[in-house]
Chains A and B, each alone.
Chain A
Amino acid sequence: MSQDLESQLRAALRPIAPSASFEKKLIASVTNDPQHSQPKPDRRGGAGWHSRTRWLSVAAAACLLIGVGLQGRMQLRRERENGLEARRQVVEALRVTSQKLDLAYEIVKSQSSSFADDNPGA
């Protein structure tokens, strides 16, 4: 061997062409790969399968958000109504209590005045 190992290696490892049949098969499989044609826009202007799914997901998420919002609003409304009813009941209770106290005051007052009339020296 008169030449250096590296140049012999380069010569030994020059690229090999694949067979013609494989070349045809390879080109056919790459150019007809359905994965590649999916991102192409729909020629009729409509959304593709991916975009339809995406829109459906967005719509479902929007419905969910609206539902949760409505639920929250109804809950708030119920709580407000309950609060108003409680306030009304408290006011009514205070009114009744006030009436009772007034009545009691009147009784006590009338009793103390009749006692003073009966005992003028007291």
Chain B
Amino acid sequence: MNEAVRQFTDHELALARNGDARALTALVLAHQRSVYSLALRMLGTRDLAEDLAQDVFMQLNRNLKSIESRQHLAFWLRKVTSFRAIDQLRQRARLATTSFDEDLHLEGDTHAHLYSDAGASDPLLQRHLKLLLEELSPPARAVVLLRYQEDLDPLDIARTLEMPINTVKSHLKRSLEIMRQKTPGARLSRGEDQSI
């Protein structure tokens, strides 16, 4: 995400505010991965994620005048995507049972290249962790995604989700604890959660 923010310039943001099609295209290209991934991992299915991502970008398009900088743009996108995904999950209880099969399917075919550079990391473990993510409550899931997908620190997560920082830290600790308990062979102990 940070890389994408650097790629989209202030000049392009100014042009996008005035409806310049090229600048709007650059904006979408710079941020679509982050928004789509957040939506997909929150909602669990590609269709819902695409609908949400499209709605978020359309909403952004109508509110571009209020976006002050590239950082504000990234913050706005994460915030709106997270809140809308949490709302959807709360409204549609049936989605709680939706699995991440589609995500795994994607990973297994057309998007396999995205994971091929995992290096020494364990693909099976990563799948397992993604399935565990599904078991978290929507706010906890959003916190974990903002921390480990978007690489935000707890303070930024608190600002994005309008949560007290202690709540963010508590979500992170509890979520890691759940994952640790359900992951055989996980070595990370309580005292090793340095980044929280």
Using CB atoms and an 8 Å cutoff, list the residues of chain A in contact with chain B: 1-19, 22-23, 25-27, 29-31, 33, 35-37, 39-40
Q: Which residues of B, 112-126, contact A by the 8 Å Cβ criterion? A: 114-115, 118, 120-122, 125-126
Majority SS at the chain A contact face: helix
| Contact with B111, one of A3, A13, A17 (Cβ below 8 angstroms) | A17
Size category, B interface: 35 or more
Partner of A27, one of B19, B28, B103, B115: B28
B62 x A12 contact (CB < 8 A): no
Q: Which of B1-20 contact A (CB under 8 A)?
A: 1, 18-19
In angstroms, Cα B176 to Cα A6, docked, is: 8
A-B contact pairs, 7 of them (CB 8 A): A1-B187, A8-B126, A15-B1, A15-B33, A17-B33, A18-B36, A40-B18
B144 A9 Cβ-Cβ under 8 A: yes
Answer whether A27 and B25 are a contact pair too, CB < 8 Å, given A11-B118, A33-B58: yes
* Contacting pair B179 A5 (CB below 8 A): yes
Residues of A within 8 A of B50 (CB): 18, 22, 26
CB neighbours (8 Å) of B36 from chain A are 15-18, 22
- Find residues 176-192 in chain B having any chain A CB closer than 8 Å to their own CB: 176, 179-180, 183-188, 192
| Chain B residues positioned under 8 Å from A18 (CB to CB) | 32-33, 36, 49-50, 53
Instruction: Collect the chain A residues with CB atoms within 8 Å of residue B155's CB.
Output: none
**A8 in contact with B37 given A1-B185, A36-B61 (CB within 8 Å):** no
Asked if B188 contacts A4 (CB within 8 A), the reply is: yes
